[in-house]
């Protein structure tokens, strides 16, 4: 067993659990949305505002949260952030109307905003370059798995106790994860009491070199020049992802006529397809790199195939007459979309190294900004046109633009020496 066990795999498992829980807490409100909307008399536009309220602090916290992790270490910062989003989740169960829901979603955005950049920073010292795509892929697969199982989990709790209780229970789970993380995680491999010299060699961790680099100041200007295109592509990717995460249950109920039980199942299928896409995208990118030694090719090809494939499948999904055909096409679109996710999150590590937390925050700001706009635009278009067609067409256009931009991404252009 000693030869098989790797401490970095345990660290990866803990981070996978964090991604899973974070996404459950993020998307549970979309599952409860039809009940919330009815109980509180909310319009589609107001519901869109509630969805997007999360994204404003989420975007604002990306760079700041990543920088804090670079500065003070991901163990401390990620623990603080997880407590904040756990409390916000619990408070959502006490919401009484539009204003309170917006306030609690803002608090959730603050907590989760710096979490993924902090997790990316946490991986920097624990995984060698040839394992980073897989590490990012598997963690984000667990995020999608969290989103996928949220509908049946939340609806089961709702059926047994009520929608408010679902937030109380899920918030308590987040607090439990924080305790586990603080107990198991360390900022660098050499700090962990279970690490072996053999695994340190496999990781390639150089404590002396790391301390020398940590004395350097954050290269802000150079990092912006290296990361702005990745940030824009993440915006194009994020626009469609927010559509799936926030509006899919309502779309299936309103536009496709599914009841609550059917909605629980068919809202899960596209997100489960994303689970496979996340892991596969990272694994394939790593294999291309290992076989060719060409990091540029390994990252670009998955971005282009993923965004382009999502575009190919989302168009016929909009116009499909059969509801089941629409679900299958949306699942294929989401699978392709998620092929890009592990690559997007590997790029900050490829480009920025020690400053991957800050670079990851820069990149994911694009996702956050998309989250500010996408859910609201979706809601406004539904109220004005009574149709989901135009919002999906906007998503398709941005997917095409993102695929073209991916041809120019260069992971070999370093933000720091």
We report the CATH number of the domain holding residue 186 as: 1.20.1250.20
Q: Is residue 414 part of a domain?
A: no
Q: What average pLDDT does range 281-294 have in this prediction?
A: 88
Q: Is residue 206 part of a domain?
A: no
Q: What average pLDDT does range 355-380 have in this prediction?
A: 82
CA dihedral 168, 35, 60, 218 (to 10 degrees): 60
381-411 pLDDT, tens digit per residue, is 888 887 778 888 888 999 999 999 999 998 8
Q: Is residue 328 part of a domain?
A: yes
Of the chain, the end-to-end C-alpha distance in Å amounts to: 39
Residue 376 DSSP label: H
Give the integer Cα–Cα distance in Å for 230 and 54. Answer: 22
**Rounded alpha-carbon distances, angstroms, from residue 303 to 298, 403, 406:** 9, 7, 6
Give the integer Cα–Cα distance in Å for 155 and 265. Answer: 11
Domain count, the chain: 1
Q: Is residue 213 part of a domain?
A: no
Q: Is residue 378 part of a domain?
A: yes
DSSP string, 297-337: HHHHHHHHHHHHHHHHHHHHHHH-SSHHHHHHHHHHHHHHH
Look at 208 and 140; give whichever has higher pLDDT.
Answer: 140
70-91 pLDDT, tens digit per residue, is 888 888 999 999 999 999 999 9
pLDDT of residue 211: 54
**Rounded alpha-carbon distances, angstroms, from residue 136 to 70, 243, 407:** 18, 22, 21
pLDDT of residue 209: 47
Give the integer Cα–Cα distance in Å for 384 and 131. Answer: 47
211-246 pLDDT, tens digit per residue, is 544 556 777 888 888 889 999 999 999 998 888 877
Predicted model pTM: 0.73
131-159 pLDDT, tens digit per residue, is 877 887 788 788 878 877 887 788 888 87
The parent domain of residue 315 ranges over: 7-199+219-406
Give the integer Cα–Cα distance in Å for 124 and 187. Answer: 9
156-177 pLDDT, tens digit per residue, is 888 788 888 889 999 999 999 9
% of residues, the chain, pLDDT over 70: 94
């Amino acid at each position: 067993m000693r030869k098989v066990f790797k401490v970095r795999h345990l660290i990866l498992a803990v981070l996978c659990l964090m991604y899973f829980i974070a996404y459950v807490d993020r998307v549970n409100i979309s599952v409860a949305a039809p009940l919330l909307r009815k109980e509180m008399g909310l319009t589609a536009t107001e519901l869109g505002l509630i969805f997007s309220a999360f994204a404003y602090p989420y975007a604002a916290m990306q760079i700041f949260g990543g920088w804090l992790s670079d500065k003070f270490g991901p163990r401390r910062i990620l623990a603080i952030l997880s407590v904040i989003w756990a409390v916000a989740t619990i408070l959502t169960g006490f919401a009484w109307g539009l204003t309170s829901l917006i306030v609690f979603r803002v608090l959730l955005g603050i907590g989760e905003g710096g979490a993924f950049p902090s997790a990316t920073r946490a991986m920097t010292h624990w995984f060698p370059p040839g394992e980073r795509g897989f590490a990012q892929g598997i963690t984000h697969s667990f995020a999608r798995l969290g989103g996928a199982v949220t509908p049946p989990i939340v609806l089961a709790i709702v059926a047994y106790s009520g929608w408010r209780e679902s937030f109380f229970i899920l918030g308590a789970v987040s607090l439990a994860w924080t305790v586990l993380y603080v107990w198991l995680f360390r900022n660098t491999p050499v700090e962990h009491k279970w690490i072996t010299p053999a695994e340190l060699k496999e990781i390639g961790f150089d404590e002396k070199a790391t301390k020398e680099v940590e004395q350097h100041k954050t290269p802000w200007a150079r990092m912006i020049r290296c990361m702005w295109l990745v940030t824009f592509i993440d915006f194009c990717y994020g626009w469609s992802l927010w559509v799936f995460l926030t509006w899919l249950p309502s779309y299936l109920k309103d536009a496709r006529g599914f009841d609550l039980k059917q909605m629980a199942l068919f809202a899960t299928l596209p997100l489960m397809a994303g689970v496979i896409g996340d892991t596969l995208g990272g694994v394939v990118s790593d294999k291309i790199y290992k076989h060719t030694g060409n990091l540029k090719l390994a990252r670009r090809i998955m971005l282009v195939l993923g965004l382009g494939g999502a575009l190919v499948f989302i168009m016929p999904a909009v116009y499909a007459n059969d509801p089941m055909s629409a679900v299958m096409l949306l699942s294929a679109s989401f699978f392709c979309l998620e092929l890009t996710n592990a690559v997007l999150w590997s790029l900050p590590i490829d480009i920025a190294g020690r400053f991957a937390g800050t670079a990851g925050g820069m990149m994911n700001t694009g996702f956050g900004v998309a989250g500010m706009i996408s859910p609201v635009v979706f809601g406004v278009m539904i109220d004005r046109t009574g149709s989901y067609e135009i919002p999906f067409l906007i998503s398709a256009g941005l997917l095409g633009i993102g695929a073209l931009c991916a041809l120019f991404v260069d992971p070999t252009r370093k933000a720091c020496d």
